[in-house]
Structure 1
Amino acid sequence: MTSTTAEMRPPRSEVGVIGWLRKNLFSSPTNALLTVIGIWLIWTVVSNVVDWALLHATWEGEDGKACSREGAGACWPFIQAKFSQFMYGRYPEPQRWRVDLTYVLAVIGLVPLMIPRFPGKLVNTLYMIVIFPIAAFLLLSGGYFGLPYIPTELWGGLLVTLVVASVGIAGAFPLGIMLALGRRSRMPIVRWVSVGFIELVRGVPLITVLFMASVMLPLFLPEGMTIDKLLRALIMVALFAAAYLAEVIRGGLQAIPRGQFEAADALGLTYAQKMGLIVLPQALKLVIPGIVNTFIGLFKDTSLVLIIGIFDLLGIVQLNQTDSKWFSHATAMTGYVFAGLIFWIFCFGMSRYSLFIERRLAASDRR
């Protein structure tokens, strides 16, 4: 004769929310102490931010006097009054529809490329590589098809930040691949030139590169010949980022097993076929975090173009802080917080999309 015992439920302290808290936050005296300290720090930071940004913030006003009261927090009327300059710089207001249209065209091309299952990848790629750059140049600069010419000296704000970052990324990626392949080349001249360029560029700060392009380069040009300042910055930013990106990609190439190269050679593939179809796809997949990290660093480094008199988002924020009408102790902090939030949104978006691509590629490997 057998007897069965009733199934006993686990203690409440081991399951549910209480169980999770004990297992993850209070599993030992040390973890409990760290949890309490962490909660205190989070509460302190969040409460101060909410107090500054919401509870004691100024929401209405015509000038800086409204934000000058004792204990005043963020000066949001300053952001509202200067918002158009933060987005467009000194771009003529009647022509700002051209900037908006450029953004729309960019979204039309980027969104289908970023969605893995979206059809027509080849068409979208050709659009972003060939059609969009030409359309963006014609729209932003003008001088064609009846559009007034807008000199780059009037560009500024988020427009310049996105232009420098996007052109820098688009130029640095293929150049970085070529430099990485050149550094591993068996031809001495190609290898020496690639190594020399990479080490030279990585040995100097970006500020120095931009300063040389702005001040020294015109001295070597023929008399009467000039190169647009923004164009010089775009070229130097792309070259600077390419040197760092080349080392990231070279790390991925070195991680590929030797058997992959030998198998491609055994199939009779040419060098271009071997690299384009076999080696590079695997290498680039391995170094996605490093590539995105370089792109994020490049996006943040766009603020350094202020050194050569190009007013990006951060530069235009600093410029507007000199407006005597909006002078107050809260104006500067509010402007910097606004600029930091914009930078964080773009950088966080790139980071999350990178994680999405990594998970998708990892899932394909498991299949």
Structure 2
Amino acid sequence: MISANLFHTFKWIKINLFSSKLNTILTLISLLFIFYFLTTLLSFVFFSAEWKVIDTNLRLLLIGPFPENEEWRIWASVYWITALSGFSFAHYGSISRKILLYSFLSIFLLMLLIEPMSNVNLFILSILSIIFFIVGYLFHSIIKIKSIYKNKMVLIGWAITLPLVVLFLKIFGGVETTKWGGYFLNIMLAWTGIIFGFIFGLLLAIGRASSLVVIKYSCTVYIEVIRAAPLVAWLFFAYLVIPDLLPDIFANKVDIALRVVIVLSGFTAAYIAEIIRGGLQSVHFGQIEAAKALGMNAYQSTSLIILPQAIRAVIPALVSQFIALWKDTTLLLAAGLAFRELLGSGKAALSQLEFIGKYSEVYLFVALLFWIVSFSMSRFSLNFEKKLGLNKGD
């Protein structure tokens, strides 16, 4: 069995990498480049880098100026989300060896950059979040109910998650949004932007495809205007212009975080609307005719026949847009808003006299944290596509 696998492996290598002189030269050049890149990176990570800047500023990078005695609010939210993520992952896919390997490598790299003994509490709380994920994953197989009910549990769980997190952050006095920061702030902004951006974008796509002229052209104008300017310009708009447009009674009462969420959601919605519109155009007209023949009205045919097929066709593009929004949350630093998200927290750490010049260590750690979320979203999307019968060959 092993010899057969080796034979197929060598055969694949020969066919795909060394099938001609040109392929052989390109393969060797690529291998030399990969070898040089990996040796340089590993040499820096293990021998040259000084990770004290991360150990000292770990809390600043993760949650910013969030009050220390209020951290339980964040961890309560994290444990709920990790448990629900484990349950969702078990429902929509399975943990393969590749995923276990990637997860192990991510945790291993983080442990290399963080000194666990100097951040004991944070280390223990992080391990607990992994345990909650495992509990959620195992709970899916323990409960003996039909798959359709498990699907409803997942949908209801994620539907109440955002209100639940906001409740955790606001009950018993709460914490002002100006004290939110670090990695936590990036996650909150991306999360709310994705949820509301998808809902609003879905409505815009349906509106643009509507036969009602007023609705169609209103949605079209909104989409084209929003896409005509970069996100950073709209963030400046939220920070500087919106207060001047509001009545005096509301001018100083609209939270800056709420304004940023509105801009992120509205900006993302314009792009999601075009993605879904492409999916709507991929649905054959015969499907609509068949729905009418069955006696379905416009609402039933759209919600039960057209939209499921349209969204199914554009899942990869939607996830790409979600990942783009996740990375775009760093633009808060460029816009100079009154927040210190992950990249801004990294810049604050570099301004400390002891750590001036430690750019590589800080930005490598920041990049790793962003990569973990982006890669997780990508893999979850792939599992979901396989669950729907797509990308069986990946």
- TM-score where L is the length of structure 1: 0.85
Q: 2:232 aligns with which of 203, 207, 219?
A: 207
- Deviating more after overlay: 349-358 vs 112-121: 112-121
In the alignment, what sits opposite 1:51? 43
Instruction: Specify the SS of the correspondent of 2:365.
Output: helix
Q: Which of residues 341, 344, 348 in structure 1 aligns to 2:368? A: 341
State the Cα distance separating 1:48 from its structure 2 match: 0.3
Structure 2 distance, partners of 1:174, 1:162, is 18
Cα deviation, 1:36-80, whole Å, max 9, x if unaligned, reads 101100011001001111122xxxxxxxxxxxxxxxxx2211101
Q: Distance in 2 between matches of 1:124 and 1:17?
A: 40
Residue 291 (structure 2) pairs with residue 291 (structure 1): no
In the other structure, the counterpart of 1:41 is 33
Map of 1:217 onto structure 2: 242
Aligned to 1:138: 167
- Separation of aligned partners in 1, 2:8 and 2:208: 56
**Residue 116 of structure 1 pairs with residue 116 of structure 2:** no
Q: Partners in 1 of 2:203 and 2:87 — Cα distance?
A: 27
Q: CA deviation at 1:113?
A: 3.3
1:292-351 CA-to-partner distances (Å, cap 9, x unmatched) read 011010100011122223221111111221111322x3x111111111111111111111
Cα distance change on mapping 1:364 and 1:351 into 2, 3 Å: closer
Does the CA-based 8 Å contact 1:296-1:350 persist in structure 2?
yes
The residue type equivalent to 1:110 in the other structure is S
User: Comparing both structures, which one devotes a greater share of its residues to helix?
Assistant: 2
By how many angstroms is 1:17 displaced? Answer: 5.1
CA distance, structure 1, for counterparts of residue 240 and residue 390 of structure 2:
50
Are 1:311 and 2:303 an aligned pair? no
Contact 1:109 1:124 in 2 (8 A): yes
Question: For residues 1-367 of structure 1, what are the structure 2 equivalents within 5 Å?
Answer: 15=7, 18-56=10-48, 74-114=49-89, 115-116=91-92, 118=140, 119-129=149-159, 131-140=160-169, 142=170, 144=171, 147-225=172-250, 226-306=253-333, 307=335, 308-327=337-356, 329=357, 331-362=358-389
Counterparts of 1:217 and 1:309, CA distance in 2: 15
Q: How many angstroms apart in 2 are the aligned matches of 1:236 and 1:41? A: 41
User: 1:108 Cα shift?
Assistant: 3.0
Compared with structure 1, are the counterparts of its residues 217 and 18 closer, same or farther at alpha carbon in structure 2 (3 Å cutoff)? Answer: closer
Report the count of equivalent residues.
330
Please state whether the residue corresponding to 1:362 is helix, strand or coil: coil
Q: Identify if the C-alpha distance between structure 1 residues 181 and 150 changes in structure 2 by more than 3 Å, giving closer, same or farther.
A: same
Q: Distance in 2 between matches of 1:180 and 1:310?
A: 32
SS class of match (1:91): coil
SS of 2:254's equivalent?
coil
Report the residue type matching 2:92 in the other structure: P
Q: Which TM-score applies when normalising by structure 2? A: 0.79
**1:112–1:121: 8 Å Cα contact kept in structure 2?**
no
Match of 1:66 in 2: none
Distance in 2, Cα, partners of 1:19 & 1:220: 67
- 2:92/2:383 contact within 8 Å kept: no
Question: Is the Cα–Cα contact under 8 Å of residues 168 and 234 in structure 1 kept in the other structure?
Answer: yes
Residue 224 of structure 1: how far off its partner (Å): 4.5
Who wins on radius of gyration, i.e. which is larger?
1
Q: What letter corresponds to residue 158 of structure 2 in structure 1?
A: M
| Deviation larger for 117-126 or 291-300 | 117-126
| Structure 2: tracts of 5 or more residues without a match | 94-139, 141-148
| 1:200-233 Cα distance to aligned partner (Å, 9 max, x none) | 1000100111101110111122225221111100
Alignment deviations for residues 146-187 of structure 1 (CA, whole Å, 9 cap, x no partner): x23311111100110010010001101111111111111000
Alignment identity in percent? 32
Return closer, same or farther for 1:151/1:258 CA change in 2, 3 Å cut-off. same
